[in-house]
Structure 1
Amino acid sequence: MATTITLSLLLGISALYLAKSYLSSTRNLDGDNALPESDHPVLKSHSTTKSYKTMFAEYPQIRTFYHPHSHAEKLQAIADLPLLVFVHGLGGCLPQFAPLVGSLVNIAPCFGIDLPGHGKSKFLPKTPEAYTIAAFCELWKTAVEGICKEYGHKKVLFVGHSMGCSISAILTTESSVPFEVVGFIGICPKATPPSSSESTSAKRFLSLPNPVLDLLRMLDRRGGVKSKSVERMAGKAAGMDLRRLQLAYNKSFKTPVWKRSALGCLPQYDSSDGAVGGLPGKDVWAKIQVPLFLIAGEADTVTKPGEVAKIVSFLKDPERENINGTITSNPLPNAMPIPDDGSMDNTTPQENPPNSKADERQFGALPSTSEISSHNSTVVKTAILPSPAAHALMYDHATYRTVAGLIEDFFVRYVSPQLSLGWQLQQLTTSGKWDVKNLEKWKKILPVSGPIGHPPDTGIFRALKTLREQDEVHTPSLFIKEWGSKFFAVIDISHDSPVYDTASLDRGGIQYHKFPTVSKVPPTVVEVTDFIALVDRLRAEQNSSDPTSTSDSSSTTSSNAAGKTIGVHCHYGYNRTGFFICCYLIERCGYRAQDALEEFARAKPPGIRHDHFIDTLFMRYHVGLKKAPTMSTD
């Protein structure tokens, strides 16, 4: 009896000491233990609490998110857009998809729920059978079926993360689902269930009393934002913002929910060592017959990138060749790796970049991607984001733009061209550019930006809005009078015929070059290459004509000694103009993507306005991201 009391006292004192140490370390590292608000405005304003009843259980309070396409009524007659369904993983929640939703909500209706006990859903019911993989699949099927009936959706495209990939794989291959699955994005997927011995060990560990598991989890979180608990998900190279966010997610996930859900992921093994229930394996993944895109992080230790290779092996058809061969390192011809120091290769013309401040990390390579045709005659695309991308890559500020860009590209290429925001915006443009509304909007825009690029006093570029012959202010004659001494050339990238006399620029000593591109759509790889070549040629010509320049006439690297810049304009001078200029700063001047975006936004506020342009930029030039400009419907 005395021994039992003594042991209890020792355990109690130890627990109090550990709790005090943990809270102290968390406070010291987190800044008074202040945790970030993890929800997102889009989720907040489009979420409700619903009740769902399935054959396994009744879930009385499930957080449910639905965001219709903002132009659903206008697009309904011309487009059949799928419902994007976001399925989170074990211990995850909808806010982890918020960065992706922020981009994808503009191209298709979006839907998701928090599983019971996860995120903002109540931990009800508490029976173990309500937390198995089969029960979760049935809950998801019921929820998706209900939203499809309510809003008339017929097609579904799953976007899963971690355990959510396993749930999505089961629903994608289940013939009884009352909706058509047209695609599947799997982020950090798990290929096979735990083995018999792993399941036995896991079950033994999870059989420990909740207070003991609470204590062990508390020890795992010791160190707060620098704890093993955080680094396991976010990666050792994670920035402070991501660490704080991950700590908030980890602390909000309670032990009883974790225990039931983790047990529900473990299969039962029969006498012949066959897995029953739990996470799916080859028998499910091999049945997928829709376009599949698998994304992983090289530094992910939770679901290692090797899991992607396993899934691909399940789907490979040895009788068939790769669709486009295997693409490694650079998925796009002009997407160049950025060295760790932010500079470019010595063989590439460049200038001294500004001090990088976009993120605490730098990424030295682009995602390694490949595409195959599976034995089911469907495309299987993979992308492995280089280290330090980890399990949190879809909500890591350094990687989520790249992930969004890759997903959007996959949608358009393999699911439907109607999932292109550019295509949709073109269809929605019903009024002329010079009607009263747009003319007034155009007049309010800054005619000529500040200098863009290094050196800062003169720059390489200035962004313009298109000149207009009949305007009282921004007309060629006045432009030449005020700005003629500061411009060497003007590149008109608008698709339409110019609404001003271009010859007047030439007469005023400013070269005019027409470089037509399509509005609302990010410039293609070829267009970017041609634009850069044109600017290189103009700068070389300018340097050779500058009497103060001693550089070789073919050089594109010397500074603008004459103090003149190259003007670039589309209609308003934001999206396409900004995209081309940023590409040049990245490829020729050693800027990182975020630095280039900030440089353009500084000179032409608020910068690039369309999210899909920004996503495409980060997909092509995979580097750190601190923040992104907000989207406009411009």
Structure 2
Amino acid sequence: MSFNYFRLLGSRQLPQESWGRPATKPWMLAINTALSLILGVGLLYIARSYLPSSQDSKEEAATADKDHPVLKNHSSVQSYKTKHAEYPSIRTFYHPHAHAKKLQAIADLPLLVFIHGLGGSLPQFAPLLGSLVNIAPCFGIDLPGHGMSAFSPMDYEAYTIAAFCELWERAIQDICELHRHKKVVFICHSMGCSIAAILATSPSFPIRIEGFVGICPRATPPSPSETASARRFLSLPDTVLDMLRALDRRGGVNSKSVERMAGKAAGIDLRRLQLAFNKSFKTPVWKRSALGCLPRYDPSGRAIGGLPGRDTWAKIRTPLFLIAGEADAVTKPAEVTKIVSFLKKLAVGEEINGDPGSKPLPPVATAPAQAVGDTSAVGKTEPRADERQFGTLPSTSEMSSQNSAIVKTAVLPSPAAHALMYDHSTYRTVAGLIEDFLARYVSPELSLGWQLQQLTTSGKWDVKNLEKWKRVMPVSGPIGHPPESGIFRAMKTLREQDEIHTPSVFVKNWSDKIFAVIDISHDSPVYDTKSLERGGIQYHKFPTVSKVPPTVVEVADFIALVDRLRLEDPHTVQGKTIGVHCHYGYNRTGFFICCYLIEKLGYRPQDAVEEFAAEKPPGIKHEHFIDTLFMRYHVGLKKAPTFKDSRQGSISGVESVQSSIDS
């Protein structure tokens, strides 16, 4: 058997991700039986060394049983019948847009379709769903035998790539007919990218495809020799495969099985989650699905069935965004380079021959991986969790394909691995990248900022909003180094008619602590700015649009303004802070302040977000502001962050946005 396939036994997904029927010759069955007995005796002898403690078992069970509230509250069990099989119990998730009725007159939002990989399940998308359910309706299923879907039927033909594609086509068509969706966007992981590529290039697919996000995709099927080795290995009895997979999981959270997917630098929470995923994926399902992904080769060496390759990827005609992790050992970043080579425009006389992954392609536009404030090279060797570089941007590129569709790529630097979309240190960055791609290349209506602007129909000072404004903390504690005095104080806007938070009272209470106010609201101030200046507090207008994360240029200008203020007269400003306000002082204010802390004071994004929230509770409210912050300042975290947001609690992302529509 091939050593490479034995090494991958414990993973939830194999690099080749697909493979046909097991051999059934009598002599092979006899050999397999003998091998099963020999391995069985050996494994029973060493099993005691690898049995988990009861405490470990309880933790793994608790992790495996945990379902994200968004998934739990919007899932049902459906049956689907296709020409390949009838699937009686498929976990089906559908989450409508929270404000569909209000937006339907002005926006025709596509359905976001989430397609998991081999051994994957919908909970892998849960961190991304925390943001994306707020911008569009979302839909997904667990493939049979995966996640919460039943392992039924058991026939091998029901687990081929062709069967999975037909199941997905049936499920998408049903949900679109039921809820009158006319277009979709695919958001896929690993083998799910292969399924989406087939659907996106199928002339019979009945729904218009507006965009395609592929996370950790594979470009080509396994070679004939790899396929033959895989078939031989997967012809072993299930009991033997079970034992080998258990052996590969020795060491539990520190096993090769876990590190292969999560990466060597993964934190303990991610390791436990990955171990629970690995154990929950049963060998009979893994075997059928893996075999079902393997192609068959004709005498000329052409692959038939199984995972798609160049011929399929080259036909993609929709905006395509490919995301990879530099430390991914399952589907390496070179796979993205191959797919791009299939799609790139050819120069006159140029041909795509040989190994497309042999050399990198020059992108049209590139943001090279670099650390904020540091020009040294990144990712020479895979760092451990306590050696990660902070402030490291993902390398990105964009180009036009031969089909005139935009192709965008992003490679998150090491230690980002195959689990990057549910890794606490990377999922915020991935969510921000996806949101930016959807708004820029699919439809501006998929920008949460645009939607919130359309939904904000009430005036700033109607009775409801005025009462809300009065409940907001007027001035925060000091933010930034040094902690005793800080650099910033986050404020809500002043009002001339207010008895407390009005310029005359503000000057008396704060002129010894605040030397300047930066007003970032777009509207004209509703207070006498000259009153501040007469009281010795500078006033600076820096207008920005509400509901939308500030642009890179706006952030640069804000930082330059703050630096200029701090350098003008150090003696005057010593021990004093700069007040920053929009309307309530949460989202834009928090975003600007966090950007300054990160770029100028060396904060990690998570530290900046947490410090702002501690001094101006509850901190930045809009998910898309936080996702954008992490996208621009991607980092590897030393430990899993403890986000105080809807994804870690019982409140859904939709409820979070609902509560802050007019904030």
TM-score by length of 1: 0.90
Between the aligned partners of 2:69 and 2:387, the Cα distance in structure 1 is 26
CA contact (8 A) 1:368 1:385 kept: yes
Please report how far the alpha carbon of residue 573 of structure 1 lies from its aligned counterpart in structure 2 after TM superposition.
0.2
Distance in 2 (alpha carbons) for counterparts of 1:102 and 1:298: 25
Look up the match of 1:531: 558
2:624 to 612, 629, 632: 612
Q: Which residues of structure 1 form unaligned runs of 5+?
A: 331-335, 339-343, 348-357, 547-559
Q: 1:316 is aligned with what amino acid?
A: K
Distance 2:102 2:88 in 1: 35
**Contact 2:391–2:604 (Cα < 8 Å) also in 1:** no
Tell me by how many angstroms 1:240 deviates.
Answer: 0.8
Equivalent-residue separation in structure 2 for 1:573 and 1:8 (angstroms): 66
1:416-461 per-position Cα deviation (integer Å, ceiling 9, x unaligned): 1000000000000110010011111111110010000011111000
Q: Which whole-Å CA distance do the structure 1 matches of 2:405 and 2:488 have between them?
A: 45
Deviation, structure 1 residue 608: 0.5
The aligned counterpart of 1:397 is: 424
| 2:302 maps to 1:274 | yes
Identify the residue that residue 592 of structure 1 maps to in structure 2.
604
Query: Bigger shift: 313-322 or 94-103?
Result: 313-322
Deviation at 1:28, TM superposition (A): 7.6
Equivalent residues in 2 for 1:503-522, closer than 5 Å: 503-522=530-549
1:206 and 1:259 in contact (8 A); partners too? yes
Name the aligned partner's letter for residue 63 of structure 1. Answer: R
Question: CA-to-partner distance for each residue in 1:337-373, whole Å, 9 max, x for gaps?
Answer: 14xxxxx4499xxxxxxxxxx9884446311111111
SS at match of 1:591: coil
1:52 is displaced (CA, Å) by 0.5
What is the match of residue 487 of structure 2?
A: 460
Kept after mapping to 1: 8 A contact 2:367/2:397 = yes
1:627 aligns with 2:638: no
Counterpart in 2 of 1:576? 588
Q: 1:180 aligns with which of 168, 185, 208?
A: 208
Summarize deviations over 1:355-409 as a string: whole Å, max 9, x none. Answer: xxx9884446311111111110111111111000000001101001111111111
User: Which residues of 2 match residues 214-613 of structure 1 at below 5 A?
Assistant: 214-319=242-347, 325-329=364-368, 337-338=371-372, 344-345=373-374, 361-363=388-390, 365-543=392-570, 545-546=571-572, 562-613=574-625
**What is the CA–CA distance in structure 2 between the aligned matches of 1:200 and 1:8, rounded to whole Å?**
21
Q: Are the aligned partners of 2:40 and 2:243 in contact in 1 as well (CA < 8 Å)?
A: no
The answer on whether the counterparts of 1:594 and 1:624 sit within 8 Å (CA) in structure 2 is: no
| Structure 1 residue 23, shift from structure 2 partner | 1.8
- The structure-2 alpha-carbon separation of the partners of 1:33 and 1:417, relative to structure 1 and needing over 3 Å to count, comes to closer
Which residue number corresponds to residue 129 of structure 1? 157
| Alignment correspondent of 2:226 | 198
Alpha-carbon offset, residue 326 of structure 1: 2.9
Q: 1:145 to 1:301 in 2, by over 3 A?
A: same
The match for 1:168 is 196
Matched position secondary structure for 2:583: coil
Opposite residue 347 of structure 2, the aligned amino acid is E
Residues in 2 aligned to 1:149 and 1:56: alpha-carbon distance in whole angstroms:
22
With the length of structure 2 as denominator, give the TM-score of the two structures.
0.86
| Structure 2 match to 1:552 | none
SS state at 1:142 partner: helix
In structure 2, distance between residues paired with 1:327 and 1:403: 17
Q: Distance in 2 between matches of 1:609 and 1:192?
A: 42
Q: CA deviation at 1:483?
A: 1.4
Matched-pair contact (CA < 8 Å) for 2:415–2:636:
no
Q: For residues 36-87 of structure 1, give each alpha carbon's deviation from its aligned partner in whole angstroms, at most 9, with x where no partner exists.
A: 2442110000000000001100000000000000000000000011100000
Distance 2:34 2:444 in 1: 70
Q: Which residue of 1 aligns with 2:651?
A: none
What SS is found at the alignment partner of 1:293?
strand
Q: Which residue does 1:20 correspond to in 2?
A: 48
* Aligned equivalents of 1:448, 1:56: Cα separation in 2: 64
Change (3 A) 1:8 1:370: closer
Distance 1:397 1:216, change over 3 A: same
On the 8 A contact 2:36/2:237 being kept in 1, the answer is: no
Query: Matches of 2:172 and 2:496 in 1, distance apart?
Result: 54
Instruction: List aligned pairs for 1:100-115, cutoff 5 A.
Output: 100-115=128-143
Residue 587 to residue 89, structure 1, CA distance change in 2 (3 Å):
same
Report the 3-state secondary structure (helix = DSSP H, G, I; strand = E; otherwise coil) of the residue aligned with 1:327: strand
Question: Residues 422, 466 of structure 1: CA spacing in aligned structure 2 closer, same or farther, 3 A cutoff?
Answer: same
1:157-188 C-alpha deviation (Å, 9 max, x unpaired):
00110000000000011111111001100000
Aligned-residue identity in percent: 74
State the secondary structure of the residue aligned to 1:156.
strand
CA distance in 2, matches of 1:614, 1:51: 38
Q: Say which SS state the counterpart of residue 485 (structure 1) adopts.
A: coil
Could you tell me how far 1:12 is from its partner in structure 2?
Answer: 4.8
Aligned counterpart, 2:118: 90
CA distance in 2, matches of 1:439, 1:599: 27
1: CA distance between counterparts of 2:642 and 2:138?
23
Question: Distance between the aligned counterparts of 1:364 and 1:482, measured in 2?
Answer: 37
Name 2:14's counterpart in structure 1.
Answer: none
Aligned residues: 595
| Correspondent of 1:55 among 83, 86, 108 | 83
1:569 is aligned with what amino acid?
Answer: H
Q: How far off is 1:35 after superposition?
A: 4.5
Candidates 46, 61, 70, aligned match of 2:98: 70
Cα distance 1:278–1:584, how it changes in 2: closer, same or farther (>3 A)? same
Amino acid at match of 2:405: T
Q: Name which of 128, 143, 146 aligns with 2:174.
A: 146
Q: 1:28 to 1:236 in 2, by over 3 A?
A: farther
AA partner of residue 564 (structure 2): R
Residues 468 and 499, structure 1, Cα contact 8 Å, conserved in 2: yes
| Contact 1:368/1:384, CA 8 A, preserved across alignment | yes
Cα pair 1:29 1:225 within 8 Å, conserved = no
- The Cα RMSD (Å) is 2.3
**Shift in alpha-carbon separation, 1:346–1:510, aligned structure 2, 3 A:** farther
Q: Report deviation, 1:274.
A: 1.0
Query: Is this contact kept in 1: 2:391–2:633, CA < 8 A?
Result: no
Q: Residue 558 of structure 2: SS of its match in structure 1?
A: helix
What is the SS of the residue equivalent to 2:420?
coil
CA contact (8 A) 1:239 1:360 kept: no
- Whichever residue aligns with residue 278 of structure 1, its letter is G
Asked whether the equivalents of residues 235 and 300 of structure 1 are also in contact (C-alpha less than 8 Å), the reply is yes
In the alignment, the residues of structure 1 paired with residue 85 and residue 414 of structure 2 have an alpha-carbon distance, to the nearest angstrom, of: 41
Higher relative contact order structure (alpha carbons within 8 Å, sequence separation ≥ 6): 2
Work out the CA distance in 2 between the residues paired with 1:380 and 1:529.
28
Cα distance in 1 for partners of 2:515, 2:577 equals 6
